[in-house]
């Protein structure tokens, strides 16, 4: 089966996988494996796609990259180059974004349990927007703003009660969710009253996010309609006019041949059409439309390179091929039963003889799987295996389980590679440890 080649990926004249003009077998040699390689041009084009769609629709908009999908200093700088804003969900992400030089006003802060210290840090930095998630946060944030004698632009995160089709762990917009104020029970309205009555808040708009890896526009359509209905209602009853409407992220991407996602821009068009039409009909000023794509900006741009090691054939049952990484740098198969594809980065040998194998990692547990059942050319120890579409929620969810160091990350563009996250060393692993005595 032909591998899926994303972005600038291609097989070069040596029949080696090339990403961003760089031969991946050379990258594996130079930087070692496991290695995350990002196709920078692919990230740029995804980012531009969103911005251009809004421009074509002549709509005011903000594309805030959901940095939880993958981030580091260079990544923040890249999205800044492309004119995107970003959202952060922790003090750590905020710190990294600021350190990367992102202007605080271009940052939005999410989370269902932001701590005092995190909120204080955000306010001190003069962060652009805080997305208020719950009643506790209204009180906490208000008290910090009072202490600091500051006013803060905020959005209210609402749970619109939409069950978008995706893995249950990554659903967020349904009523039974830990995120946001529920609309149906009246909590959202109660939150609105509190925020409007508090002089420390400048309520600039409303937010919702219905889930992740969503393949059709139906969920977005329903969520947008529900949010618009709330906006019309609150204008009539509270004279509140939302300057911005943030409809979150969640646009699906292609992991395997079976996935058939829409162009990310298709979701934007659907959302925008509903917003425009409702505003015209109801004589409501068109709000600035914000979206928060994470996965759709980085997933397909990322490829993980592994070196094949041991192989175990259990006659009639399964053949395990082990690679030098696993659930440490990619826990998505173990956690969500996520599906991926892989192929040898060097295809100059005999690719005809295929076998059905399962790709496993080097971690000490049976759940440490990367791919269950995939037909691959016969692999031998030392071969470089490229696992595609690993750019989102891979490195960002990495752990040091079994005290394995986290891998390095390289950006490839126009034939040049740049190390953007160093490989962790054993020294790094003991860096925080203190002796018994
Ligand atoms: N905005 C909010 C408020 C979110 O909670 C998320 C993701 C996003 C935007 C970005 O969604 P995206 O465009 O990336 O789908 N670890 C899981 C995904 C968790 C998503 C959490 N929230 C995974 O590996 O599939």
Please write the tens of the pLDDT for every residue from 7-25: 999 999 999 999 999 999 9
| 115 alpha-carbon distance from chain centroid | 22
CA-proximal residue: ligand 1, atom 24 (nearest): 393
Residue 372 clears pLDDT 80, i.e. is over it = yes
Residue 239 shares a structural domain with residue 146: yes
pLDDT of residue 350: 85
Which of 104-113, 116-125, 165-174 is predicted with the least confidence, judged by mean pLDDT?
Answer: 165-174
Residue 198 shares a structural domain with residue 346: no
Q: For residue 435, is it within any domain?
A: no
Based on the residue annotation, tell me whether 72 is a catalytic residue of this protein.
no
Residue 88 shares a structural domain with residue 15: no
Residue 231 clears pLDDT 70, i.e. is over it = yes
Residue 310 shares a structural domain with residue 259: no
Residue 209 shares a structural domain with residue 291: yes
Q: Is the CB of 170 under 6 A from ligand 1?
A: yes
Among the candidates 296, 311, 333, a domain finishes at 296
Q: What is the mean pLDDT of residues 270-276?
A: 94
Which of 159-173, 305-319, 393-407 is predicted with the least confidence, judged by mean pLDDT?
Answer: 159-173
Q: For residue 258, is it within any domain?
A: yes
Q: For residue 256, is it within any domain?
A: yes
Q: 221 and 208 in contact (C-beta within 8 Å)? A: no
Residue 154 shares a structural domain with residue 218: yes
pLDDT of residue 162: 84
Q: For residue 437, is it within any domain?
A: no
**Domain holding 411: CATH number?**
2.40.37.10
Q: Rounded CA gap, 237 and 225, in Å?
A: 18
pLDDT for 68-109, tens place per residue?
999 999 999 999 999 999 999 999 999 999 999 999 999 999
What lies within 8 Å, CB to CB, of 421 at 6+ separation is 36, 72, 74, 395, 406, 408, 409
Residue 306 clears pLDDT 90, i.e. is over it = yes
- Tokens linked to 111: 């989370």
For ligand 1, pick from 292, 390, 396 the residue to mutate: most ligand atoms within 8 Å of CB: 292
CA-proximal residue: ligand 1, atom 3 (nearest): 209
Q: What is the mean pLDDT of residues 375-379?
A: 96
Please state the atom number of ligand 1 nearest to the C-alpha of residue 167.
Answer: 25
Among the candidates 277, 296, 315, a domain finishes at 296
Q: Is the CB of 340 under 6 A from ligand 1?
A: no
For ligand 1, pick from 68, 180, 227 the residue to mutate: most ligand atoms within 8 Å of CB: 68
pLDDT of residue 173: 66
Query: In angstroms, what CA-CA distances link 25 with 13, 34, 71, 340, 410?
Result: 13, 12, 25, 20, 13
Q: What is the mean pLDDT of residues 342-356?
A: 92
Residue 46 shares a structural domain with residue 20: no
Residue 398 shares a structural domain with residue 340: yes
Predicted TM-score (pTM) of this structure: 0.96
Q: Rounded CA gap, 297 and 38, in Å?
A: 11
Q: For residue 3, is it within any domain?
A: no
Residue 170 clears pLDDT 70, i.e. is over it = no
Q: Rounded CA gap, 361 and 332, in Å?
A: 13
Q: For residue 268, is it within any domain?
A: yes
Q: Is the CB of 393 under 6 A from ligand 1?
A: yes
Residue 411 clears pLDDT 90, i.e. is over it = yes
pLDDT of residue 1: 65
Domain count, the chain: 2
Residue 287 shares a structural domain with residue 149: yes
Among the candidates 296, 330, 352, a domain finishes at 296
Residue 121 shares a structural domain with residue 237: yes
**Residue 75 belongs to domain spanning:** 41-296
CA atoms within 13 A on the CB side of 314: 5
Q: For residue 379, is it within any domain?
A: yes
Residue 268 shares a structural domain with residue 144: yes
Q: Cis ω on the peptide bond leading into residue 34 (within 30° of 0)?
A: yes
Residue 163 clears pLDDT 80, i.e. is over it = no
């Amino acid at each position: 089966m032909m591998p899926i080649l994303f972005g600038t990926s291609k097989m070069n004249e040596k029949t080696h996988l090339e990403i961003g003009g760089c031969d991946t077998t050379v990258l594996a040699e130079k930087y070692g494996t496991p290695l995350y390689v990002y196709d920078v041009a692919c990230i740029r084009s995804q980012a531009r796609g969103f911005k251009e769609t809004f421009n074509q629709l002549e709509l005011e908009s903000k594309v805030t990259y959901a940095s939880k999908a993958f981030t580091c200093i260079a990544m923040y700088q890249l999205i800044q180059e492309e004119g995107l804003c970003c959202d952060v969900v922790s003090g750590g992400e905020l710190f990294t974004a600021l350190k990367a030089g992102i202007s605080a006003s271009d940052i939005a802060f999410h989370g269902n349990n932001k701590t005092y210290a995190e909120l204080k840090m955000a306010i001190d930095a003069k962060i652009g927007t805080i997305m208020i998630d719950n009643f506790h946060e209204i009180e906490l944030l208000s008290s910090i703003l009072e202490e600091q004698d500051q006013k803060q632009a905020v959005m209210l995160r609402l749970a619109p009660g939409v069950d978008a089709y995706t893995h249950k762990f990554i659903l967020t917009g349904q009523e039974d969710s830990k995120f946001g104020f529920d609309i149906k029970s009246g909590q959202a309205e109660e939150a609105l009253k509190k925020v409007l009555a508090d002089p420390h808040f400048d309520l600039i708009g409303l937010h919702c996010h219905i889930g992740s890896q969503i393949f059709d526009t139906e969920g977005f359509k329903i969520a947008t309609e529900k949010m618009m209905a709330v906006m019309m209602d609150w204008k009539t009853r509270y004279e509140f006019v939302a300057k911005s409407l943030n409809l979150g992220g969640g646009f699906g991407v292609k992991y395997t041949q079976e996935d058939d996602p829409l162009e990310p821009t298709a979701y934007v068009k659907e959302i925008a059409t509903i917003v425009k039409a409702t505003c015209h009909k109801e004589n409501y000023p068109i709000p600035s439309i914000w979206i928060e794509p994470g996965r759709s900006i980085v997933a397909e741009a990322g490829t993980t390179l592994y070196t094949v090691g041991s192989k175990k054939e259990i006659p009639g049952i399964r053949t395990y091929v082990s690679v030098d990484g696993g659930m440490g740098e990619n826990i998505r198969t173990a956690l969500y039963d996520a599906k991926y594809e892989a192929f040898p980065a060097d295809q100059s040998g005999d690719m005809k003889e295929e076998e059905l194998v399962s790709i496993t990692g080097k971690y000490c547990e049976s759940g440490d799987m990367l791919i269950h059942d995939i037909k691959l050319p016969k692999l031998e120890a030392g071969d470089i295996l490229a696992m595609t579409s690993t750019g989102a929620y891979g490195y960002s969810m990495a752990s040091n389980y079994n005290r394995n160091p986290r891998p390095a990350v390289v950006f490839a563009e126009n034939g040049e590679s740049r190390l953007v996250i160093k490989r962790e060393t054993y020294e790094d692993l003991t860096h925080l440890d203190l002796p018994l005595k």
